[in-house]
Structure 1
Amino acid sequence: MEHLLDAIILGIIEGLTEFLPVSSTGHMILAGHLLGFEGEAADTFKIVIQLGAVLALLVLYWKRYIEIAKGLLTFRFSEKGKLNAVHLAVAMFPALIVYLLFKDVIKDVLFGPGPVLIGLVAGAVLMIIAAQAKRKVTAESTDDIDYKQALGIGIFQCLALWPGFSRSGSTISGGMLLGTSQKAAADFTFIISVPVMLGATVLDMYDSREFLTSGDLMLFLVGFVAAFVVAMLAVVTFLKLIKRLRLEWFALYRFLLAVLFFLFVM
């Protein structure tokens, strides 16, 4: 219970940053470092509260998931001109394989302030390249995205396994470079985030099961609720701004965050 305030702060940070192109994992690692909330139990807490953000997306995109589920139940896995389960499968596959092959290396080597700062800067550069690139937009909405673009976005999603890169930053940038509009890339990113995050969170929770104790239940619940509420507000706000707000602004924020943390904390 001594970390209850930390749980609220980290839940808010998780909800705010999980679906913005600024890297929630990077923010959580940096915030945990500043708060002194680190170690195996803290890492498990950060995994659990991601489920709050996942639940927020399920609520916001429930109609889409119902449509995809209906397609699966009626064996219509692929429907031309419509986002379907095949899009999700091909977009999830690359990151899933890379994660399963290198998850121990990722956790042991990359989950620290130094690698996060590198990821923040590298991800910002990618976002600027995507925003400035001259490309023909062939997918204005998620229903216009073809399987090749979905696979390409999935490959870009592998970058998000490096803390600091950001899942949404990598996939939105990748989608734009592959010919989707910024809005279509954002929507597609959010939709594929649920199965990706749910699978990764369940696997991480299983690996960390020895640190899930009843004594921390209130701590986890508070962080979960804070992440859920704030993520709902953050996603709705971001989707309203996405057509007017260019990626360069998020890239600038990432540069500033990396510099400030390097100067005052490292």
Structure 2
Amino acid sequence: MLLELWKAIVIGIVEGLTEFLPVSSTGHMILVGNMIGFTGEKADTFEIVIQLGAILSVVVLYWKRCLRLIGYKDKNAPVSPNGRNLNLLHIFIGIVPAGLIGFLFHDYVKMLFKPETVVIGLIAGGIFMIVGEKAMPKLNAPTMDDLTYRQCLYIGFAQILSLWPGFSRSGSTIAAGMMTGASRGASADFTFLMAIPLMVAATGYDLLKNLDQFTSGDLLPFAVGFVVSFIVALLAVATFIKLVSRLKLTYFSYYRFVLAAVVVIFMMAGRL
């Protein structure tokens, strides 16, 4: 039990530190999990569950925005110059494509949770992010409230790419948002806000689908990993989101390429 708790804490820390950077938190958890011997169907489900812990820290950061989405009137809320205001339909449009594909191909997606596919995702995602950075047209959505329904749909389709481990949800969606003319900050804010309902649904579905594989002894490691990822993410979320909003995606792409090379070396040496 102590060994499992230690592994849960390590994976929880990795998730909390990487969830808000376009480097693929799932990819990092898979790689670290393989290094410490935390693999298998339960480990795959664990990695999905604790992502919800990290995502819930976004609720703390965006709590006023979340309340406004469900009808709360905030007199001090900034108003978009073009009169637009982000609403639940924007969020719904953004999450439907990946949610639908993830539901229909759930078992196939889980089969991709291995180092070899993560390497492919790291490289492909890095290239996609560079393209997004270079192909950005004239800015038309400086803030999240300026996003149109069409832009949200494009971002939603790009989120399908993140179902491949290593590609990165934030990397694919921020890059796609920039390709439509949204600012880096607007794309990042929308990405993390729409992740809340998506991860709630993904976690609930995965737990229900694999419920028969768990015992009461699995509850504590899951709870510990969940809490650790939430606390670490809570400490990092504001700083990391600002970092992603200001730094070019190209820098994160370079990190991904280096990590992919290191992983290949480890695999060739039989360490992964």
> Match of 1:217?
219
Partner in structure 2 of residue 150 of structure 1: 152
> Equivalent pairs: percent with the same residue?
52
Equivalent of 1:93 in 75, 93, 96: 96
SS in 1 for 2:3: coil
> Given that residues 44 and 212 in structure 1 are in contact (C-alpha distance below 8 angstroms), is that contact kept between their aligned partners in structure 2?
no
Aligned to 2:64: 63
Aligned mates of 2:256, 2:173 — CA distance in 1: 16
Aligned with 1:102 (options 102, 105, 108):
105
Segments of structure 2 that go 5 or more residues without pairing to the other structure are 73-79
Aligned CA-pair RMSD: 1.5
Distance in 2 between residues matched to 1:40 and 1:156, nearest whole Å: 27
Aligned to 1:165: 167
User: Would you say 1:35 and 2:45 are equivalent positions?
Assistant: no
* Unaligned runs of at least 5 residues, structure 1: 72-78
TM-score (norm 1): 0.93
- Partners in 2 of 1:134 and 1:102 — Cα distance? 31
Q: Contact between 1:44 and 1:211, CA under 8 Å: does it hold in 2?
A: no
1:129-140 matched pairs, under 5 angstroms: 129-140=131-142
Q: Following the alignment from structure 1 to structure 2, what is the Cα–Cα distance between the partners of residues 20 and 249?
A: 11
Task: Give the SS at the match of 1:140.
Answer: coil
Distance 1:242 1:47, change over 3 A: closer
Give CA-to-partner distance per residue, 1:181-229, whole Å, 9 cap, x none: 0000000001000011111111011111123322122212221111001
* 1:118 Cα deviation after fit: 0.2
2:209 to 201, 204, 207: 207
Structure 1 runs, 4 residues or longer, greater than 3 Å off: none
The alpha-carbon deviation at position 51 of structure 1 amounts to 2.3
Deviation at 1:253, TM superposition (A): 0.7
Q: Partners of 2:205 and 2:93 in 1: how far apart?
A: 20
Moved more, 6-15 or 131-140: 131-140
Query: What TM-score, normalized by structure 2, do the two folds share?
Result: 0.91
CA deviation after TM superposition for structure 1 residue 105, in Å: 1.6
Structure 1 residues 107 and 242, CA gap change in structure 2 (3 angstroms): closer
Mean CA deviation greater in 86-95 or 1-10:
1-10
Residue aligning to 2:19? 18
**1:187 equivalent among 180, 186, 189:** 189
Please, which of 86, 111, 114 is the counterpart of residue 113 of structure 2?
111
**Secondary structure at 2:70's aligned position in 1?**
helix
Letter in 2 for 1:87: H
Aligned partners of 1:47 and 1:205 also within 8 Å: no
- For residue 6 of structure 1, report the CA deviation from its aligned partner: 1.1
Contact kept, 8 Å, 1:51 with 1:201, in 2: the verdict is yes
Contact 2:136/2:180 (8 A) holds in 1: no
How many residue pairs match? The answer is 258
Q: Are the aligned partners of 2:55 and 2:192 in contact in 1 as well (CA < 8 Å)?
A: no
Report the Cα distance in structure 2 between the residues aligned to 1:239 and 1:41, rounded to whole angstroms: 30
Shift in Å, 1:45: 2.0
Q: Is this contact kept in 2: 1:16–1:230, CA < 8 A?
A: yes
More deviation, 178-187/219-228: 219-228
State the AA in 2 paired with 1:53: A
1:100-145 CA distance string (max 9 Å, x none): 221122222x221111100000000011111122411100000000
